[in-house]
Amino acid sequence: MPILRLPSAAFLRECFSYNRRTGILRWKPRPRRHFRTYKGWAVWNANNAGRRAGNIKASGHRRVRINSVSFEEHRVVWKMIVLAEPRQTIDHIDGNPSNNRLNNLRSASDRQQKWNAKLRLDNRSGFRGVHPTGNRWLARIAINGEYRHLGCFATKAEASAAYETVARKLHGEFYRRQK
């Protein structure tokens, strides 16, 4: 699904107030010119002005609807504050997709965002880059779309340590420490 272009930063600032400390967007009373009818404007402002904008999707990301079009809240925040259309993916540094504090958001490529992702639900070892193979544990890491074999180890912890050493160097600021 293509990412829709956001309205202008000025329009977004007319619609929302943003609390940098909490990362929360709230609806402002919207100007009459945003609506076709007086009644639509009056009803909308009576029901929504001052309320928290948006809702949470199953993925944990917050979404807001502006003029019947849904946008991810972190992209709205980015455009309002940075004053530019997000060129890439917006990554949540702490991995919490509903934490939209500006200091928790950064521009990232799809690959960088995957480096910062939580473990997949189908992970069988409990460690990133570690896979069972017979009675041993294989450590491997993807580099430019190709897997690099890091070795076979007697324990998951040893295989994980090998992965962590390489990942820390390769992924830089997008490295996510295993928990």
Phi/psi for 2 (5° steps) reads: -70, 150
Q: Which two tokens stand for residue 6?
A: 């956001």
The whole-number pLDDT of residue 43 equals: 97
176, exposed or middle or buried, with CB in 10 Å at 0-12, 13-18, 19+?
middle
Closest CA to 92 of 84, 80, 100, 81: 100
* Residue 91 neighbours by CB distance under 10 Å: 24
Q: What is the mean pLDDT of residues 20-46?
A: 96
| Spatial separation of the C-alpha atoms in residues 154 and 173, rounded to whole Å | 30
The whole-number pLDDT of residue 132 equals: 92
Higher pLDDT, residue 16 or 123: 16
The strand pairing partners of 91, in sequence order, are: 106
Q: What is the mean pLDDT of residues 120-146?
A: 89
Which residue segments constitute the domains of the chain, with CATH numbers given? 9-108 (3.90.75), 117-174 (3.30.730.10)
Give the pLDDT band (50/70/90) at residue 178: low
The whole-number pLDDT of residue 87 equals: 78
pTM over 0.75: yes
Q: What is the mean pLDDT of residues 101-108?
A: 92
> What does the chain come to in residues?
179
The whole-number pLDDT of residue 179 equals: 54
| Spatial separation of the C-alpha atoms in residues 166 and 147, rounded to whole Å | 12
Q: What is the mean pLDDT of residues 104-128?
A: 84
The whole-number pLDDT of residue 89 equals: 87
Lowest mean pLDDT among 8-17, 24-33, 77-86: 77-86
Give the pLDDT band (50/70/90) at residue 144: confident
Give the pLDDT band (50/70/90) at residue 2: low
Higher pLDDT, residue 103 or 173: 103
Higher pLDDT, residue 103 or 175: 103
